[in-house]
Amino acid sequence: MQSQPTSVIGAQGAGDQSGQTFIPGDELTGILETTPEGKLHFTIPFDKISAKEAIGLILYGSNPTPIEDAKLIELLQTSWKAVKDNVVRARVSELRKEGKLIAEQGRYSLSGAGIQWIGQDVLSKVRPGAT
C-alpha cells in the first residue's frame, strides 16, 4: 500500500486555529505547493492538466480529510484558474460517476480508485521532468 500524502486543511476542524491552510504532502512537491502567504497554487502550467485532474490533485493533497464544496471551488479558482462553480460541480459529478470521488454531506474526497488514478496516472503525467 502506498503511503498517502499528509496535509492540513483548516476547514471546520475542532480547535483548529490555523485558518484556511492547505499543506500538500511531499508527493505533490513541484506540482501543488503553498506560497509563504499560505495560498495554494499549482507550479505546473495550468494547461498541462484538466479540471478533473486539478480537482483530483487537490483532493489527493487533502487526503484523508474531505473538502467542502465551497472550499474546493475556492481552492481550484485560486490555485489553478478561474472556473465557474457549475463547471466545478459538473466535473465533480463526472468523477463521482467514474467512481473516483466520494461525495458525502457536501464534502468531497477521493475513493480508493481515485487515489490510485492520481497516484499512478496523473502524478506520472505532471511530475516535473515528465513529458
Domain boundaries, the chain: 26-126
Confidence of residue 21 (pLDDT cuts 50, 70, 90): low
- Quick one: fold of 26-126? Arc Repressor Mutant, subunit A (1.10.10)
What does the pLDDT look like over 59-76, one tens digit per residue? 999 989 999 999 999 999
Distances (CA, A) of 29 to 1, 22, 25, 80, 115: 20, 13, 7, 15, 17
What does the pLDDT look like over 75-122, one tens digit per residue? 999 999 999 999 999 999 999 999 999 999 999 999 999 999 999 999
- Which residues, in sequence order, are bridge partners of residue 34? 40
Q: What share of the chain in percent tops pLDDT 70?
A: 79
| pLDDT score of 57 more than 90 | yes
pLDDT at 44: 92
pLDDT at 130: 64
Is residue 43 within 8 Å of residue 33, measured between CB atoms? yes
Q: Label each residue of 59-110 as H, E or C.
A: HHHHCCCCEEHHHHHHHHHHHCCCCCHHHHHHHHHHHHHCCCEEEECCEEEE
Least confident of 5-9, 48-52, 64-68: 5-9
Q: Which of 53, 51, 2 is nearest to 25 (CA)?
A: 2
Q: Residue 65 is placed in which grid cell? A: 480529510
